Amino acid sequence: MFAFIKRRKNLFLLIFALAIILIPLFVKNKYYIIVMNVIGLNTIVVVGLNLLIGFAGQISLGHAAFYGMGAYLSAILTTTYSFPPWPTIFIAMIATGMVAYFVGYPSLKLRGHYLVMATLGFSIIVHIFMVELDKITGGPSGFPGIPHLSIGKLIFDSDFKNFYLIWTFSFLSIFASLNLVNSRVGRALKAIHGSEVAANTLGIDTDKYKTKVFVLSAMFASLAGSLYAHYITFISPRSFDFYYSIQVVTMVIAGGMGSVWGSFFGSGLLTVLSEILHVAEKYNIIAYGAILTLVLVFLPEGILVGLYNLYQRRKIAALIERERDDGPF
């Protein structure tokens, strides 16, 4: 048990799990719980997206579309066609993953940032489908009446119940990402980021790895989308527009590219910020732009990692200072 806790990764996970269990016992304000649920959903998307951005060095501006695909597939299949919800979440993830494969495979074979353009175009197309296929999707006015998820007699029909559901999946996505990052595959992805040529000559099929991690990150987004649909029970195209893609990319960068815990921090920080700025919704996008710029200029490692590094540097500087004082002079 002690050896288990000694590993910092496991200690953080343990604290995180305890926090998830305890928070609803102390926080009785429903509004706070709703905000935290949104943070939990965003965390799933952002953790997945960070695998792509922070580890493989590729950028997607289409994650709103994958998030939306998960939501709409779950909504349509369970409501219109009476599919059972849990297997449908899985089906939606597979379907979204397949679509991501067809978007990612050709554009990741090209050198340079073609994936950005491909995903941008793709997300616009998906958004048009959501709006125009109104017989299937409900069009701009949205899709109502999506059933809540349930396990046996337990129906996840309140914000508090959904808190546990959503955060269980957030926990699992963080857990799985940490596993991936500290593994053969994670190192291969980091290596691709470091030097694609060198990675290739060491046996890493760089095209395949980039495509796979893109597909994986799309599946994370799809999962979050399905959970969102079953939680809110109503979805509309507005939630899955281009602005959401920008939001999640900002969360990855603010939290720290390549840091799994940073993703959690980034989605927390920026979700809360959006809530605070809710009164002035027009200025939301400006705030996001400003944060993105400021972070990239002053703390390119991300806020969490950047501040930690600053603290470390201070500590080392203080140590050197003290040694000087203790010296013979």
Partner 1 sequence: MGHSEIILKVYRLRKVFGGILALNDVSFEVKRNEITAIIGPNGAGKTTALNLISGIYPATSGEIIFEEKTISGLKPFHIAFQGITRTFQNLQVFQNMTVLENVMVGLHTQTRSGFFSCLLHMPIVAKEEKIVKKESYSVLQFLNLEKKTDWLSSSLPFGEQKRLEIARALAGKPNLILLDEPVAGLNVRETGEMSKLILKIREKGITIILVEHDMNLVMGISDKIIVLNYGQKISEGTPREVQNDPKVIQAYLGEG
Residues of this chain that bind partner 1 (CB under 8 A): 176, 179-180, 183-188, 190-191, 193-195, 197-206, 212-213, 216, 258
Inter-residue contact 36 to 180 (CB < 8 Å): no
Helix crossing, 63-75 with 242-255: angle to 10°? 120
What is the 8-class DSSP label of residue 282?
G
Q: What's the min distance (Å) between Cβ of 258 and partner 1? A: 8
Residue 65 or 188 with smaller CB distance to partner 1: 188
Residue 94 or 136 with smaller CB distance to partner 1: 94
Which residues, 6+ apart, have CB-to-CB distance to 220 below 8 Å? 44, 45, 47, 48, 49, 51, 173
Residue 274 or 309 with smaller CB distance to partner 1: 309
Q: What's the min distance (Å) between Cβ of 216 and partner 1? A: 7
Residue 29 or 201 with smaller CB distance to partner 1: 201
Residue 47 or 166 with smaller CB distance to partner 1: 47
Q: What's the min distance (Å) between Cβ of 195 and partner 1? A: 4
How far is the C-alpha of 30 from the C-alpha of 138, rounded, in Å? Answer: 29
Helices (H) and strands (E) in the chain, counts: 16, 2
Inter-residue contact 255 to 302 (CB < 8 Å): yes
Q: What's the min distance (Å) between Cβ of 173 and partner 1? A: 10
Q: What's the min distance (Å) between Cβ of 183 and partner 1? A: 4
What are the angstrom distances between the C-alpha of 150 and each of 82, 83, 207, 230? 14, 13, 40, 10
How far is the C-alpha of 187 from the C-alpha of 147, rounded, in Å? Answer: 41
Q: What's the min distance (Å) between Cβ of 200 and partner 1? A: 4
Residue 169 or 240 with smaller CB distance to partner 1: 169
Of the candidates 277, 249, 274, which has an alpha carbon nearest to the alpha carbon of residue 263?
249
